Amino acid sequence: MKDSTKKEIRRCVIIVVGCIAAYTVPSMKGIAGLLADAALGVVYVALAVWWFLPTDDEMEERNPGYKQRKKEKSVLRREEPEPEPLSPELTELAEKIRKKLK
């Protein structure tokens, strides 16, 4: 995904959250309104932090080789050892349990 696309997505998310908040929060009264205001504050702080996180291109400018390391890490995470097959006794037991549960 391009960084400009990421920035557009971030902008759209913040606008949508703002519109929802502007529509719903003022209509709430009492403790519900206070809780909604507090929740909205927490969401806006999280969105502000997310907004200012550097994109991949910005990280590449600051730290050469960032994208390559990121790709290598994502590839390494997917390589998991194959689980060993169950013994025949355990397979039979699992089938019996499955039949009883049906």
* Domain map (residue ranges) of the chain: 3-53
Residue (of 48, 68, 50) closest to 59 by Cα position: 68
pTM summary value: 0.44
Maximum mean pLDDT: which of 67-71, 72-76, 85-89: 85-89
Q: Distance (Å, rounded) from C-alpha 55 to C-alpha 78?
A: 23
pLDDT tens digit sequence for 12-69: 888 888 788 777 777 778 888 888 888 888 888 888 888 787 777 777 788 787 777 6
Which residues have a Cβ under 8 Å from the Cβ of 14 and sit 6 or more positions away?
A: 47, 51
